[in-house]
């Protein structure tokens, strides 16, 4: 009598036989999460906005506020203003203020606990804006820059020819690049400052005698003066 050969079942590599009941299980390459991703709804713009607003101001917004504040302080330190810095500061400040107001308004409605928890970060931007506005209104940047440059400006005054206007070609005197320096008959010294003035030419003036502000003075052409500090004035040509 001979023994019958043993029957072998399907090997693990071959897998199980296909099901015949009409249902198919997930294959080895199928992702079980894929059907969920297909039926999941993409976040709407409103949801994205709420998610963005519920987070406190971070590493980009606050440094941007500080940078715009410094630009505005620089603009105020130039006699008569500085047009590129004015446009950048006012434009950037308006955008940042609008973003901050929108963000805070939404956060107060849907994420008030986050506002209370990170209140220091929420008030940092308004504090920067208030400090910049306060310093500019008090003319501290202009006064400080003129005071720091006064000695060098006086040295230029002493070496310049009093009978004519001397071109300076952007040479620095203290913290100001000068375009020209000259003197009037009454002893007033006029300094042309590079880039000074929003719509009209502006500069610095030194006079040992007080000058009337906001009016045209005989012998001074079409210039109007504004007092800065001590014997220093800002002039604007109309």
Residue 66 Rama label (left phi>0; alpha psi -120 to 50; beta): alpha
Predicted local distance difference test score (pLDDT) of residue 211: 95
Whole-number Å distance between alpha carbons of 71 and 179:
22
Whole-number Å distance between alpha carbons of 94 and 86:
12
- At 73, is the secondary structure helix, strand, or coil? helix
Predicted local distance difference test score (pLDDT) of residue 29: 52
CA distances for 38 relative to 32, 45, 194, 209, angstroms: 11, 19, 62, 81
Predicted local distance difference test score (pLDDT) of residue 103: 83
Q: What is the DSSP letter of 198?
A: S
Predicted local distance difference test score (pLDDT) of residue 160: 74
Predicted local distance difference test score (pLDDT) of residue 172: 95
Q: Which CB contacts under 8 angstroms, 24+ apart, belong to 137-143? A: 139/76, 139/228, 141/73, 141/74, 141/76, 141/77, 142/76, 142/77, 142/78, 142/79, 142/228, 142/234, 143/228, 143/229
Which DSSP helix (H) or strand (E) runs through 53?
helix 45-53
pLDDT in tens, the chain (238 residues): 444 444 544 544 444 444 445 444 555 555 665 565 555 566 666 666 666 666 777 778 999 999 999 999 999 999 999 999 999 999 999 999 998 888 888 777 777 787 788 788 888 999 999 999 999 999 999 999 999 999 999 999 887 766 678 889 999 999 999 999 998 988 899 999 999 999 999 999 999 999 999 999 998 999 999 999 999 999 999 9
What pairs with residue 237 in β-bridges? 223
Predicted local distance difference test score (pLDDT) of residue 126: 92
Cβ atoms 191, 179 nearer than 8 A: no
The DSSP-derived string for 103-166 is HHHHHHHH-HHHHHHTHHHHHHHHHHHHHHHHHHHTTHHHHHHHHHHHHHHHHHHHHS-TTSPE
CA atoms within 13 A of residue 27's CA, in its CB half-sphere? 3
Residue 139 Rama label (left phi>0; alpha psi -120 to 50; beta): left
Supply φ then ψ for residue 59, to 5 degrees.
-75, -15
Extract the runs of DSSP E, i.e. beta strands, from the chain: 166-173, 176-183, 189-193, 202-206, 223-229, 232-237
- Which structure tokens are listed for 178? 């000068």
Predicted local distance difference test score (pLDDT) of residue 13: 45
């Amino acid at each position: 009598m001979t023994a019958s050969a043993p029957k072998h079942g399907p090997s693990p590599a071959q897998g199980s036989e296909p099901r015949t009941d009409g249902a198919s299980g997930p294959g080895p390459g199928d992702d079980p999460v894929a059907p969920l991703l297909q039926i999941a709804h993409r976040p709407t713009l409103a949801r994205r906005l709420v998610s963005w607003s519920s987070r406190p101001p971070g590493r980009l917004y606050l440094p941007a506020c500080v940078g715009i504040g410094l630009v505005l302080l620089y603009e105020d330190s130039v006699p008569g203003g500085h047009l590129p810095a004015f446009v950048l500061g006012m434009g950037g400040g308006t955008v940042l203020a609008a973003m901050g107001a929108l963000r805070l308004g939404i956060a107060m409605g849907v994420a008030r606990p986050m506002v209370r928890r990170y209140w220091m970060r929420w008030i940092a931007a308004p504090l920067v804006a208030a400090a910049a506005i306060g310093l500019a209104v008090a003319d501290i940047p202009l006064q400080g820059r003129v005071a720091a440059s006064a000695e060098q400006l006086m040295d230029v005054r002493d070496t310049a020819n009093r009978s004519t206007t001397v071109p300076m070609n952007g040479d620095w005197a203290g913290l100001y690049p000068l375009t020209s320096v000259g003197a009037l008959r009454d002893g007033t010294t006029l300094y042309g400052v590079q880039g000074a003035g929003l719509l009209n030419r502006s500069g610095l003036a030194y006079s040992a005698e007080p000058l009337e502000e906001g009016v045209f003075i005989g012998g001074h052409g079409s210039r109007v003066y504004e007092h800065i500090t001590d014997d220093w004035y800002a002039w604007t040509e109309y």
